[in-house]
Amino acid sequence: MPAATLYLVATPIGNLEDLTYRATRILAEVNLIAAEDTRHTRKLLNHYGISTPLISYYREKEMSRAGELLTRLLDGESIALVSDAGTPGIADPGAVLAQKARQAGIRVSPIPGASALTAAVSVAGMTRSEFLFLGFPPAKGGERRKFLESMTICAWPLVMYESPRRVRQLCSDMLNLWGDRPAMVARELSKTFEETEKSTLGQLLAHPIIEIERGEYVVIVWPMAAPEYEADDLDTLLRWHRDQGEWSLKDVCRRLAADLNRSRTEIYQRALIIWQEENAD
């Protein structure tokens, strides 16, 4: 094993069998494991008979602890960084230490494995490969709604993590802001009580899956499909987009230019005429 290497090791998101052979070897061979919760990680290590020393590395201490770990890396030690579940640095601590190590010329190596993000997306039945991962939305209501408003005209499916205590309110906010879009929630992925439900935001709010206050959720929301239209029926499509909510003229034109592969200037000029006609009425 190369010395002075920081390994970002993906750990199981529920089922302990999802730890890879490579991850098991790395965790056993490094000098130190930095863990989000040492008690949680110790259970995983005991399951695989790994006795590598542990040190805590959680978000509140991330900046100060990163400096300490960087010193050890510069002294030639190898360190594995793990979160409680999934991949470090993806909605979990890890980015600060990885950045500092790179800046110091330390090798940073990913050890891929389980991820709630990829697990949920893989079973969502997406017909396009593009999606936008948003991590955890803001916890406070006002900040969350402002954040969601900025995503209103996004053309890709949105993927979020959410706490079981806030998943209902998140779905409710999205329904109020965006209407009844197609959506899916997933919980307890890879565990005994794994559950996914795909329908619409309104139907999910009436489903018992979002009432279970245990385990983090993955929430996926698709853009509302535009109505069928003829290639030359730009006027109808402009009016339809305008009627979906309080979108600016600029936002509507940018979205349509991308969707139709047409000139934004052309669409903007036509939209100005329609908007002026509507205001005159």
Name which of 66, 69, 89, 82 is nearest 23 in CA terms.
Answer: 82
In the prediction, which pLDDT does 230 show? 46
Cα end-to-end span (Å), the chain: 74
How high is the pLDDT of residue 253? 77
- Mind listing the pLDDT tens digit for each residue in 113-160? 999 999 999 999 988 788 999 999 999 999 999 999 998 878 789 999
Q: Note the pLDDT of residue 229.
A: 45
CA Rg value for the chain: 23
Residues 6 or more apart in contact with residue 241 via CB below 8 angstroms: 226, 247, 252, 255, 256
Provide the 3-class DSSP secondary structure of residue 177: helix
Question: In the chain, which residues have pLDDT < 70?
Answer: 1-2, 225-234, 236-238, 240-242, 244-247, 258-261, 275-281
What pLDDT, on the 0 to 100 scale, is given for residue 113? 96
Q: For residue 162, what pLDDT is reported?
A: 97
Return d(Cα 72, Cα 173) in angstroms, integer: 46
pLDDT at 268: 78
Per-residue CA distances from 138 to 61, 174, 205 (Å)? 21, 13, 20
Q: What is the pLDDT of residue 197?
A: 97
* Residue 17, both tokens: 């069998």
As a whole number of angstroms, the distance between CA 150 and CA 254 comes to: 14
CATH of domain 5-114: 3.40.1010.10
The token pair at 121 is 């997306």
Tracing tokens 């109808």 back to the chain, one arrives at 236
Specify the CATH superfamily of domain 117-221. Answer: Tetrapyrrole methylase, C-terminal domain (3.30.950.10)
d(CA 189, CA 14): 7
Written in H, E and C, the secondary structure of 223-271 is CCCCCCCCCCCHHHHHHHHHHCCCCCHHHHHHHHHHHHCCCHHHHHHHH
Output the CA angle 204-183-207, nearest 5 degrees: 10
H/E stretch holding 111 reads strand 107-111
- Chain centroid to CA 256: how far? 26
The answer to whether the predicted template modeling score (pTM) of the entire model surpasses 0.85 is no
